[in-house]
Amino acid sequence: MKKEYCGLFGIYGHPEAARMTYFGLYALQHRGQESAGIVTWDGTRIREQRGMGLVADVFSERHLGKELKGSVAVGHIRYSTTGASLLRNCQPFLVRFGNYNLAIAHNGNLVNTMELREELEASDSIFQTTIDSEVIVHLIAKYLNGCSLEEAVIKACNKVKGSYSLLLLCNDKIIAVRDPHGIRPLMLGRMGDAYVLASETCAFDLMEAEAIRSVAPGEMLVIQDRRLQSYRICDPQPVRQCVFELIYFARPDSEVFGEVVYERRKQMGCTLAHEAPVDADYVMPFPDSGFYAAIGYSQASGLPFEMSMVRNHYVGRTFIQPSQDMRDFSVRVKLNPVKSMIKGKRILIVEDSIVRGTTIRTRVKRLRELGAREIHMRVSCPPIRYPCFYGIDFSSKGELIAAHQSVDDIARFIGLDSLHYLSIEGLLESVRGNSQEPPYCMACFDGNYIIPPCGEGLKTCLDDVSLALSW
């Protein structure tokens, strides 16, 4: 089970900012299905609409056409990695202090949340939510005494530790910030005279906006009076972009970290074919997770590509569903086999990753029941052996099958004739990160955390931690 973090969208200088933000969030819906929100500024007042559920369920024509007025807007879709699944935790999180109306939308996860929260509460800060993003707001409010807003944001960002891409709407300006290591993606674009910002370029494509560039790691952009200004929030740090964006999370039609996701996933499959060839009748994915890597494997190996499992497109991604009961139901109804393609066949399945292995085990068992002669699996990423502390909710080492079992043991557990994971070297080669210091976070594979997950008041250990804090 993998859970994603969040999706961000912002726009400055468009007469229908709320509607454009709705479309942007709609394009980013794959990044979270738990809640959605939009905040707008009309030159006089700030307006908001937030709710639990899908983008199409949270917003109506009344919201987009009448209530969310203004030419400036930020939006957020969420799956909770820190904080419970509650309406009060929906973002953008909106506060008012002094002359400022401030809304924050955050993608990522802070590792020193508890330490900072205790420090702020000791200084009489009152928290309204259980999300780590609220810590950033309180820090900004604290530093505003005697500082400009931009200075306060920079000071707050230098106080927090972890991953963050931020969009802040403060009265008549949008501020965008990306953490110094660039762990989470954030793109800048143009739509006519309007500036747009989004987690992925697929949000730009829907409204025919032009992608300009990524917000650089450690960069703060300030958009006001239709002007764009860039600031550094700190000295340059080693870049460690989340490689799982390219493996799994980002939409294949997006460009992330300067890479076309579709091409990188296909290359992972090609590399797999060279690393671990197998004598099989055909290659297949379990839709839609290993689809593009399976295409690459097929093309590189010469094995036919087939779709022996057909997806019901009216069932969402299982890992994003908040309820365990709903996840189990989704597994049962999500895929249906083409039985004539399975009996007596030697099948090679290409998957993008294995976390617990329980879902894949159920699917492989079904293929066995339908008479598959051999079932082999190739995985387009290395074994996930370590928790992620930066926003992907496989945050406990105890839930990772590869942390405790060998590849052969995992193959036996799932019911496979053979299993091979893409090597770390093969992954880096596939994402063109095989420089002396690859610009990707690989901590979930090798345990090398660019930001230490333990210490400084974060009471946890790698063996059995859960950072999904739910006070």
Catalytic residues: 6
- Measured distance CA(224)–CA(324) in Å, rounded: 44
- In the block, residue with structure tokens 């707001």: 137
Annotation-wise, does 388 bind a ligand? yes
50 contacts: CB under 8 Å, gap ≥ 6: 35, 36, 37, 38, 58, 87, 90, 91, 92
Residue 202, annotated as binding a ligand: no
CA distance 135 to 363: 42
Tokens of 17: 């900012």
| Helix pair angle (407-414, 358-369), 10° resolution | 50
Annotated ligand binding at 441? The verdict is: yes
Annotation-wise, does 444 bind a ligand? Answer: yes
d(CA 364, CA 377) in angstroms, rounded, equals 10
* Contact indicator for 169, 161 with CB cutoff of 8 Å: no
Whole-number CA gyration radius for the chain: 22
- 276-312 exposure pattern, b = at least 16 Cβ within 10 A, e = fewer: bbbebbbbbbbbebbbbbbbbbbebbebebbebbeee
> DSSP assignment of 7-22, as one string?
EEEEEES-TTHHHHHH
No. of helices (H) and no. of strands (E), the chain? 15, 23
Paired with 76 in beta bridges are 8, 37
Strands annotated E in 171-239: 173-178, 187-191, 194-198, 210-214, 219-224, 227-232
The residues, any chain, with a CB within 8 Å of residue 291's CB and separated by 6 or more, are 252, 285
Q: Are strands 440-441 and 241-242 parallel, antiparallel or unpaired?
A: parallel
Strands (E), 341-403: 346-351, 374-379
Instruction: To the nearest 10°, report the CA torsion of 148, 149, 151, 155.
Output: 130
Cα 25 to Cα 56, 108, 179, 186: the distances in Å are: 10, 17, 22, 14
Which residues line the annotated binding site for [4Fe-4S] cluster? 242, 388, 441, 444
Which residues line the annotated binding site? 242, 388, 441, 444
